[in-house]
A and B are shown apart, each in its own frame.
Chain A
Amino acid sequence: MNSQPVLKVENLRTHFKLSKPHPFAEAPIVYALDGVSFEIKRGKTFGLVGESGCGKSTTALSVLRLVEPTSGSVKLKGTDICQLTRKELRHSRRFMQIIFQDPYSSMNPRTTAGEIIRSPLKILKIGTPQEQNDRVEELIKLVGLRPEQRNLYPHQFSGGQRQRICVARALAPNPDFIVCDEPVSALDVAIQAQILNLLMRLQREFSLTYLFISHDMAVIQHVCDHIAVMYLGKIVEKTNRRSLFLNVKHPYTKALLSAVPTTDIKTKRSSAPLKGDVPSPMNPPSGCRFHTRCHLAEACCFEEDPRLREILPDHWVACHLA
């Protein structure tokens, strides 16, 4: 197995400038993503977890340059996506695709399922019309739809079926890397498992690399090899699946894990549930960004921003107290 990472993200920052409240004011800046680094090896799934507003989706969009990152680099198979010209970027889109959260709004309602799946091939000019047609047929079967359904419109499908179409669309140009931005959050629990299994089957078959974004710890635990926990635009804990659930270190991760519903009565809740909301990324707290909600916070947490340290092999934590 090739051990070179397919995707290597280094110190990625995405700041949004808001409009000025009055002409002489400084434009407020949202620090949506503030120095995120990770890498994903071929055929692996890297999970990003966190509450809403922590920068997960911004990461997804920045990695694909659907949102322009402020600084940092994103290397896909060695090429830095952030340095590409618009034309080069368009060409490299065939290697990286995305599956969106909401299968209801991520498809053009005026096109049929077949056209939707075909659109990346058409846009990227891959193959002759006949080859494209065959590819669509193949993909439809691959994701578990019936060939005659290619002529139906998105509204004629159920949520799960729609997400299958989105998966087929993402798969069409034969990408190496797919961003799954909360691909099952909008679906019923029963359907969630089907889509997750489909994604995992396809990963094995085509050795796909996934960046998998979710707020659901149970889903993350099910599909991811490596996991990073995000809080306010930063990664606070990053490790493999085994170590995260065995040796959880960061108080925020502990809180997230304790929020996963369990059927085991004997399991004790390790920590109190989180109170309040994520502070505004326009004005992030000083020191450790989590200190405002951390029940362990000490004096140093208010002043110094903890760096990501490797405290166990392949287990990185950004906490003074870990």
Chain B
Amino acid sequence: MSNTTNVTSMEVEYRPDRPLVEIWRMFFANKAAVFGLVLWTLIIFTAFLGPVIYSTDPFDLVGAPMEPPGEEFLLGTDYLGRDILAGIIHGASVTLAIGFSATIFTVIIGVTIGVLAGYYGGWVDTVLMRVTEFFQVLPALLFAMVLVSLFTASLYLIVLAIAVVTWTGIARLTRAEFMKIKEREFVLAERAMGARNTRIIWKVILPNALPPLIVTMALGVGVAILFEAALSFLGLGDPNAYSWGYMIGSSREYIWDSWWAVTFPGFAIFLTVLGISLIGDGLNDALNPKLREL
């Protein structure tokens, strides 16, 4: 496995088959990426164990309104007297759940469309790409707002709305990868062996297209979290889900009197998205060393 230490110019080329160990080592050599990973370990830890350790219900009115950060409430209370720290801790799981499930939906829609367009080409590609372009030219946030406000806001609806406005990137990337890889000779070799399209798509091309998709998925989690925050800030979030975006949204009118009520959840969002972006960049470098050289 000493390939990375002395690469010739030819070997620098992107190789999807590089062993996992090697990829991990490149990832861990990247300080920013490791920082992102540490951030995310903390966040995931908070999401799972936080509510057990700090069990105050974020919806409970536990203190006086707008109490500044201090001894009784470490991060203060909001305009109704709800504990901000409890909100941050309980909001972590909600925020992560939205980030991940929206990304899963995005990937399902985007990869399906991208695979069909890229693999089959021709009129299938033309039709699907026109549809994709239609979604691309709509202002994403506005479109998401319309979708959410048409129905009663719920977490599921928000997740779906985020997926509907963000799948185009993944679709275009998948399509491009498929168009590129399907011309490679090993795909022709598969056809010569009598392979069906389903095998060629899922077992031959997709594994080879995976590295850039993984990176985009990681960044997509950050995008989804930001979308949810933006929707909640505008008052379109699910009022029953205590997400960080909801905290900012509900306290935004009192920002001059209680800066802490919006600053801490904002900071939490900032760190989460920063973390996943650093992880995504790190993965990109580890999976695709050629890009880093440029």
Q: Which A residues lie at the B interface, using CB under 8 A?
A: 61, 64, 66, 89-91, 93-94, 97-98, 100, 102, 105-110, 119-120, 123-124, 153-155, 169, 173
Contact = CB atoms under 8 A, between A and B. Distances in A.
Contacts of B185: 100, 102, 105-106
26 contacts: A61-B188, A64-B192, A66-B191, A90-B194, A97-B192, A98-B192, A100-B185, A105-B185, A106-B188, A108-B190, A109-B15, A109-B17, A110-B16, A110-B17, A110-B207, A119-B190, A119-B193, A120-B194, A123-B190, A123-B195, A123-B199, A124-B193, A153-B17, A154-B17, A155-B17, A173-B193
B202 interface: no
Contacts of B16: 109-110
**Which of B194, B195, B199 gathers most chain A CB within 10 Å?**
B194
A74 B15 CA distance: 39
B194 A93 contact: yes
B264 to A, nearest CB: 45
A56 B193 CA distance: 21
Contacts of A66: 188, 191-192
Which 9 pairs from chain A and chain B are nearest by CB? A93-B194, A90-B194, A106-B185, A120-B193, A105-B185, A109-B17, A108-B186, A98-B192, A153-B17
B208 interface: yes
Nearest to A154: B17
Question: Chain B interface: which size bin?
Answer: 20 to 34
Nearest to A101: B185
B184 A105 contact: yes
B193 A108 contact: no
B194 A108 contact: no
B195 A106 contact: no
Contacts of A124: 193-194
Contacts of B199: 123
DSSP class of B's interface residues: helix, strand, loop or mixed?
helix
Interface string B165-200: 000000000000000000011101111111110010
Nearest to B210: A110
A20 to B, nearest CB: 14
Contacts of A100: 185, 188-189
B128 interface: no
Contacts of B207: 110
A61 B17 CA distance: 28
B120 to A, nearest CB: 15
**Which of A89, A106, A107 gathers most chain B CB within 10 Å?**
A106
A302 to B, nearest CB: 39
B110 to A, nearest CB: 22
A123 B15 contact: no
A289 to B, nearest CB: 28
Contacts of B11: 155
Given A93-B194, A124-B193, A124-B194, 20 more contacts: A66-B188, A89-B194, A93-B192, A94-B194, A105-B186, A106-B185, A106-B188, A107-B186, A107-B189, A108-B190, A108-B204, A109-B16, A109-B17, A110-B17, A119-B193, A123-B194, A123-B199, A155-B17, A169-B189, A169-B193
A173 B195 CA distance: 13
**Which of B184, B189, B199 gathers most chain A CB within 10 Å?**
B189
**Which of B11, B188, B204, B208 gathers most chain A CB within 10 Å?**
B188
Nearest to A67: B188
A66 B199 CA distance: 17
A211 to B, nearest CB: 13
A121 to B, nearest CB: 9
**Which of B16, B190, B192 gathers most chain A CB within 10 Å?**
B192
Interface string B191-221: 1111110010000100110000000000000
Nearest to B193: A120
Nearest to A107: B186
A110 to B, nearest CB: 5
